[in-house]
Amino acid sequence: MRQSETSHTVPSRRARAAGRALLASLLLVGAGHTSPAAATGPEPKAVAATPASKAFATTPANWPDVHSQARPLEFVTRSFHLDLDVDFDAQVLRGHATLEVRRMDAQARELILDTRDLAIRSVHVARADSEDFKPVGFRLDPPKGELGSALRIAMPPDAARVRVNYATSPQASGLQWLRPEQTADGKAPFLYSQAQSIHARSMAPLQDTPWIRATYTASLRVPAGLVAVMAAEGDPTNRKGQREFRFRMPQPIPAYLLALAVGDLEFRAIGPRTGVWAEPSKIAAAAAEFEDAERMMTTAESLYGPYRWGRYDVLMLPPSFPFGGMENPRLTFMTPTVIVGDKSLVSVLPHELAHSWSGNLVTNATLRDGWLNEGFTTYLERRIMEAVYGKERAALEWGVGAQEMRLALDELGPGEEWRGELAPDLAGRPAEEGSDVAYEKGALFLYQLERRYGRSELDAFLHGWFQRHAFTSVTTPQFVGELQRLLMAKHPGRVDADFLSRWIDGTGIPADAEFVPSDRLARVDATRERWQQGVLATQALPAAQWTVQEWLHFLTRLPRPQPVTRLQELDRHFQLTASPNAEIAHAWFRLAIQSHYPGLEPALETYLTSIGRLKLIRPLYEDLLATPERAAFSRRVYAKARPGYHAIAQRALDKIMQEIP
């Protein structure tokens, strides 16, 4: 997922205490920690708990994924098949899921699957390779908040296949059903999924944990005239106008990468292995914006090894998509807010592409290990940007990212206990809650390694990391163990235990952190200072030559509040309130709201009702609610916009509306 798409949260004292003890656990058990399950890799095994390794011990009583009710030490899903009807009238998926499971514990007699808001009709089981399915008893537990309801299935000793007949709910958190008028072309309904972090369980009964990876096949039956796509290989016979579409994912994936969409879609190739899907009116713009995808792929391959997923296509979604991008394998889901005609926001694309190595190929075993996904991916994204667009562009991206990280830390507040550990304890915390810090601090951590070991050494280490752990899920202790053996032992003195403690277990950003310098951003800083002091007139600002990143740097670093007259000058000369660039408009609106700038309401209402991307709209609602004169306006606009937002955005924003008087 693209950076800055998560929310800021604060762990409990218990989580903070566990974080302080984490590094000792990492250093002592990292080298020997067992790799989690993968269809082509080792199975999960119990790791004996010691006083120094309890944080990551994997035993039935202490399974580390606190966001799944599955028990992978008893059964592991190896593959599954979905056979579903897409019913737009009822807004449900209806059919069955067939799971092939491996019994890890010979005494296990109950398979537990994660579900949320699923109507379970019946459950049947069969022996391996048998079609003789027989009904068995099952029980759906009462829901446990966001975890949903555990589906408990009786498993006879010889059962290895499980078929669950079910239907989703119209309120499924992982699905959004759009009316024709909510789409770009306004001609046909649209359906798309968003399974990360734990929403796959609202689409199908699965072991919804990144610790488990499985292959799958699927058949989707859709209304006439619509096209179904999935993050998987499409059947060569799939054509617009047919009613049933078939798919196959031969590489094992975690459940959060399950993805589908149905709508009036067209495809256009932009390279031998790359292409875009979009509504007809958007296909040309999407193809032009992402025309460098093939070049990005070959660049990433030269650095980190072969692309292992066949094709890399992009699906342009309607504006309600709550994130910048989602790295679904073979088919990245993308927000239309990045389509501006000049590739200025194209960094979302290399970020999602980089997930093909960090995240999809090698997955974080639990959400606690998420920095191994997002931090690594942000670093890879910047390396791809540098190779394709030059060092200056990459330095701009690093600079903007560093500023976003500082803002994220500042917004936690001086009294908060959590200040940005890379691998915090997540027990008792919602799965959707994370921090932008994991993206940028994780990337900056790798940049520190680059500075200490050199690019060639770090590239070789990362290349080996992706090849050694391909199609498996990994933990922070594993990474630390390999770092110790393959870099620290080889080059003693460059990185020590104190360095690891400050970066992995420490709060905030270490004082000696090295940042990527940007001469252009330094010039923007100097210009901003002169403008603030009144030495430089507004009309003399060299903004006509600024990139989007320079504009964002200028706006986000201005002190708040600013004099209204100065902002009116900026707006008059540069039409910021009417900016067609969603990122610039977002930064301007935040500055203007916090400075009590008048006359924003019409533009703000249009913005908030036409974009569903949480990164862009959540801070604006928070700012509006914190401003007495605009709080009522905020609630009125939200009531109007809410039906068009994705369920993930609705939950996040409902919480804000409830928490802020």
User: What confidence tens digit (pLDDT) does each residue in 591-644 have?
Assistant: 999 999 999 999 999 999 999 999 999 999 999 999 999 999 999 999 999 999
Predicted local confidence at residue 432, as pLDDT: 58
pLDDT at 659 over 90: no
- Residues 50 and 95 occupy one common structural domain: no
**Is residue 95 in some structural domain?**
yes
**Is residue 182 in some structural domain?**
yes
Q: Which of 354, 387, 402 is the last residue of a domain?
A: 354
Predicted local confidence at residue 408, as pLDDT: 78
Structure tokens at 596: 């009590």
More confident residue, 75 or 368: 75
Average pLDDT over residues 183-198: 94
pLDDT at 13 over 50: no
List of residues 6+ apart from 52 with CB closer than 8 A: 24, 25, 28, 29
Rg over CA atoms, the chain: 25
Q: Which of 505, 535, 558 is the last residue of a domain?
A: 505
Owner of token pair 């310098």: 517
**Is residue 283 in some structural domain?**
yes
More confident residue, 3 or 446: 446
3-state SS string for 503-540: HHHCCCCCCCCCCCCCHHHHHHHHHHHHHHCCCCCHHH
3-state SS class at 470: coil
- Residues 338 and 369 occupy one common structural domain: no
Per the CB < 8 A criterion, the answer to whether 319 and 278 are in contact is no
Predicted local confidence at residue 468, as pLDDT: 96
Predicted local confidence at residue 641, as pLDDT: 95
Predicted local confidence at residue 31, as pLDDT: 30
pLDDT at 512 over 80: yes
Predicted local confidence at residue 45, as pLDDT: 43
Structure tokens at 319: 């504006």
CATH code, 493: 1.10.390.10
**227 - beta bridge partners?**
263
**Is residue 397 in some structural domain?**
no
pLDDT at 11 over 80: no
Rounded Cα gap, residues 245 and 220, in angstroms: 5
Q: How many domains, in total, are found in the chain?
A: 3
Predicted local confidence at residue 413, as pLDDT: 54
Per the CB < 8 A criterion, the answer to whether 452 and 490 are in contact is no
**Is residue 256 in some structural domain?**
yes
Catalytic-role residue among 216, 439, 607, 645: 439
Rounded Cα gap, residues 526 and 102, in angstroms: 62
279 to 227, 517, 540: CA distances (angstroms)? 10, 40, 42
Average pLDDT over residues 406-422: 65
Rounded Cα gap, residues 420 and 437, in angstroms: 6
**Is residue 19 in some structural domain?**
yes
Q: Is the CA virtual torsion 150, 156, 158, 162 positive or negative?
A: negative
| Domain residue limits at 444 | 13-67+365-374+419-505
Question: Tell me: the pLDDT tens digits for 215-260?
Answer: 999 999 999 999 999 999 998 776 778 899 999 999 999 999 999 9
The mean of the pLDDT values for the chain is 88
| Percent of the chain topping pLDDT 90 | 76
Res. 41 pLDDT band, cuts 50 70 90: very low
Closest C-alpha among 216, 179, 180 to residue 195: 216
- In degrees and rounded to multiples of 5, residue 192 shows phi and psi of -145, 160
Res. 20 pLDDT band, cuts 50 70 90: very low
**Can you list the positions of beta strands (E) in 183-272?**
190-193, 214-221, 227-230, 233-234, 244-253, 260-263, 266-269
Average pLDDT over residues 170-189: 94
**Is residue 649 in some structural domain?**
yes
Per the CB < 8 A criterion, the answer to whether 403 and 553 are in contact is yes
- Residues 158 and 132 occupy one common structural domain: yes
Res. 210 pLDDT band, cuts 50 70 90: very high
Average pLDDT over residues 405-430: 67
Residue type, position 584, single letter? I
Predicted local confidence at residue 241, as pLDDT: 80
Count CA atoms closer than 13 A to 280's CA, side-chain side.
Answer: 8
What's the start-to-end Cα distance of the chain, in Å? 31
Q: Is 439 an annotated catalytic residue? A: yes
**Can you list the positions of beta strands (E) in 13-103?**
75-87, 92-103
Predicted local confidence at residue 246, as pLDDT: 96
- Residues 535 and 631 occupy one common structural domain: yes
pLDDT at 35 over 70: no
pLDDT at 17 over 50: no
Catalytic-role residue among 74, 289, 352, 421: 352
CATH code, 169: 2.60.40.1730
CATH code, 559: 1.25.40.320
- Residues 254 and 292 occupy one common structural domain: yes
pLDDT at 180 over 80: yes
pLDDT at 411 over 80: no
**Is residue 461 in some structural domain?**
yes
Predicted local confidence at residue 660, as pLDDT: 77
Question: Tell me: the pLDDT tens digits for 522-581?
Answer: 999 999 999 999 999 999 999 989 999 999 999 999 999 999 999 999 999 999 999 999
Predicted local confidence at residue 422, as pLDDT: 83
More confident residue, 544 or 206: 206
- Residues 445 and 554 occupy one common structural domain: no
Res. 53 pLDDT band, cuts 50 70 90: very low
Owner of token pair 């897409």: 86
Rounded Cα gap, residues 252 and 405, in angstroms: 33
Res. 419 pLDDT band, cuts 50 70 90: low
Owner of token pair 């994705």: 646
- Residues 110 and 202 occupy one common structural domain: yes
> pTM value?
0.88
Q: Which of 322, 354, 386 is the last residue of a domain?
A: 354
Rounded Cα gap, residues 204 and 95, in angstroms: 10
Rounded Cα gap, residues 310 and 356, in angstroms: 11
Alpha helices in 494-641 (DSSP H): 497-500, 519-532, 548-556, 564-574, 582-594, 601-610, 614-625, 628-641
Rounded Cα gap, residues 190 and 202, in angstroms: 18
Closest C-alpha among 217, 212, 158, 258 to residue 42: 212
Per the CB < 8 A criterion, the answer to whether 554 and 527 are in contact is yes
Res. 327 pLDDT band, cuts 50 70 90: very high
- Residues 112 and 226 occupy one common structural domain: yes
- Residues 653 and 543 occupy one common structural domain: yes
pLDDT at 69 over 90: yes
- Residues 236 and 111 occupy one common structural domain: yes
- Residues 342 and 250 occupy one common structural domain: yes
- Residues 46 and 120 occupy one common structural domain: no
Rounded Cα gap, residues 528 and 519, in angstroms: 14
